[in-house]
Amino acid sequence: MESNGIAGKHGLEGDSDLQFLLTGGDLLKVRSSSWKKTRFYKLQEDCKTMWHESHKTFRSKQTFSIDDIQAVRAGRQSEGLQKYTEDHVEGRCFSIIFRGRRKNLDLIASSEEEAKQWVNALEKVISNMRNLNRQQKTEHWIYNCMRKADKNSDSKMSQKELKRFLHQVNIEVDDDYAEMLFEKCDHSKSGYLEGPEIEHFYKLLTEREEIDVIYGKYAGTDGQMSSTDLLNFLLKEQRESASVDDALKLIEKYEVDDAAKEKQHMTQDGFLMYLHRDEGLVFNHVHKEMYQDMSQPLNHYFISSSHNTYLMEDQLKGPSSTEAYIRALMKSCRCVELDCWDGSEGEPVIYHGYTLTSKILFKDVIKALKEYAFKTSEYPVIISLENHCSVEQQKVMAEHMTSILGSALLTTPLGDAMPTDFPSPEELKGRFLIKGKRLNKLDAFYAADDAVEEDDSVSEDDEAADAEEDEEKKPKKSKLKLAKELSNIVIYCKSVHFNGFEDARDNRAFYEMSSFKEGKAVKLAEESANAYIQHNVSKLSRIYPGGSRTDSSNYNPVPLWNSGCQIVALNFQTPSKELDLNQGRFYPNGFSGYILKPAYLRDPASEFDPITLTKGDWLQHKVLHVMIISAQQLPKLKKKKKSIVDPLVRVEVYGVPADTTEKETVNISNNGFNPMWNEQFQFEVYVPELAMVRFVVEDYDSTSQNDLIGQYALPFTSLQNGYRHVPLLTNNGDVIPSAGLFVHVMVVDAQ
């Protein structure tokens, strides 16, 4: 079948890197020290799928989609390559890292030049795929489904192939309807569709009636939208403060028809293109960039934080991996946890103590942090140490951190005088802060040596002790011998035991922070939220999941954010609603991992209490009207390959208890292609600055739990009014390429 320019190369025609991949070549695949085999790899003609030969009996054709690749990493960065190859092949190695739980592909090229070419070429094709706009992705997707349905590859579509195609795009059409569509397009009456007829069929399929109506209402100039018509739409429907200039910019950016562009008009295709891009999304594209003040003290921000960062799966027997740190950092996580234990040959290791999780070297994790910490965000990373090591290996830890991280490691307070407050994220750009035990106060930096009392042990009463203590018994205060070298590099995040808010206020310096197990923290957030808020105005708090969560599940972070807690650590390796909310919370502000807390969570005299809402600046009562109009191209679920989805949409609001609620549409049977609901919901939101909105699309099942198709969470304050598309993410947080919801949003002040 001809691609009609639909799938193809999208702007890479004649590119030498693309040619290199289309030709393909031999690479050495590495699985273990004994399993290293040469395999042939090439990019298929669709420029979207990699093919590699396989010697397994039933797998003559092995392929993976370019969309499934999360990253390509040059050198011996993966654990497999570090373990099974020698130093001298460094330049010839690279790894392909996949999304989700699929194993990496570790490869060795025959020369360094060739390895470079593979890495560059793959990165170019991946970024090209990612940059395709939504419309092209839709075309790409539909075209690919057509190609799969054309079983005998004669570039013609029989009626049977057409039915197979419709099933592929997740739409169950009864025979009469399929026949009618078919006959409508089979102008040549030949009994199959080819060339332009397939294009016509494709046009009928991609019709969007709901867009026709909106476009028709505003297209007042020869059936097209002039810049004035478009401006009217932006002002009236989208509630934007736009000018004619803004309308002209959109036409310049998105209009596909040159003749219309010449007249400064926008056709319906251009209009659809605009609705699918940043300006037409439900998320306010201004918030995509850094838009908050980054010069306030560190503890005035929510900080994206991970727990048991080393785990890829659960915490009883899952693999530990440096890859898990890289993934968290690339998601702009700014506080990572290192569980440190004595290892063999004097080298400390990281794993989940007392369990069967695999071990990784402490120094390898520090190297990974150095390499990946500031690729997504340049703001500071906190290294939270859970230290179970002997003094000897603690010295090794300190040595690795100082030598590997170099000047990026903060080893003295900023400024010439004893600080009284935290530095800002802005001042700490590109720096690592160590969170851990410290033998003395920070004043030691400014005092004459003999004036400081030294003790070589500290009470071990944080998570390390927590892991072993029984809830009922009072823990015996065990002592941890602490190496001076390690103690000295703990500056702004000194771990101390929490003995109540009063003790913290009267006896603790600003840089002395406590960690709270989720149960304790939730209790404080429910019973003394205002005291917790005031504590967090001057101190940092870290919350972590209870040890009973052996499946690495997550707790709800929202009540803790409502109480001003900055470091609410979640298991990044576990797909969950809680992690979706975390991703939504930290998506704005340039994906920096830092979000400025609302003013009433930064004010020492704040009277805000999320549980008993009193009058105050936080009360900005809004009414949120949401109309769920339609969805497009919802994917079929892997475990139900045979069945078409029966989608329903749920809108969830999270925030202070008074704002937390959800509402859902009816389910539509057998249509994942273009289901229409046109259902309206209304929500009362009292504290908008703390509210999150989550759109969830599920496959309805009358006999068991509904399955998640896709979801999208964002802060209430980042919602855009008007007709908007909502992108959909998988439970791993990856964008589903061509799927989306179409909604109408209206936020108004309550009367």
Which residues have a catalytic role annotated?
A: 307, 352
**Residue that has been written with the tokens 């999941």 in this structure:** 545
Residues in the annotated binding site for substrate? 29-56, 435, 437, 515, 542
- The first and second tokens of residue 655, run together, are 């925030």
Report which secondary-structure segment, H or E, holds 579.
helix 577-585
- As annotated, the binding site for Ca(2+) includes 308, 337, 339, 386, 644, 646, 670, 699-701
User: Where is the binding site, in residues?
Assistant: 29-56, 308, 337, 339, 386, 435, 437, 515, 542, 644, 646, 670, 699-701
Q: What is the rounded CA–CA span in Å between residue 351 and residue 308? A: 9
Report how far apart the first and last C-alpha atoms of the chain are (Å, whole number).
59
3-state DSSP call for residue 391?
A: helix
Counting Cα atoms < 13 Å in the Cβ hemisphere of 377 gives 33
What three-state secondary structure class fits 532?
Answer: helix
CB 723 within 8 A of CB 237: yes
Residues paired with residue 52 on neighbouring β-strands, in sequence order = 41, 62
Q: Cite the DSSP H helix spans in 406-488.
A: 463-466, 484-487
- The candidate with the shortest Cα–Cα distance to 15, out of 123, 93, 95, 177, is 123
| Integer-rounded Cα radius of gyration of the chain | 28
Contacts of 10 (CB under 8 A, 6+ apart): 47, 128, 132, 136
Q: How far apart are CA 42 and CA 63, in angstroms?
A: 10
Which long-range contacts link 469-472 to residues 24+ away (Cβ below 8 Å)?
Answer: none
Q: What are all long-range contacts of 523-528, with beta carbons under 8 Å and residues at least 24 apart?
A: 524/563, 525/559, 525/560, 525/562, 525/563, 525/565, 525/610, 526/559, 526/611, 528/501
- Best CA proximity match to 321, nearest among 305, 308, 335, 310: 310
In whole angstroms, give the CA distance from residue 381 to residue 291.
20
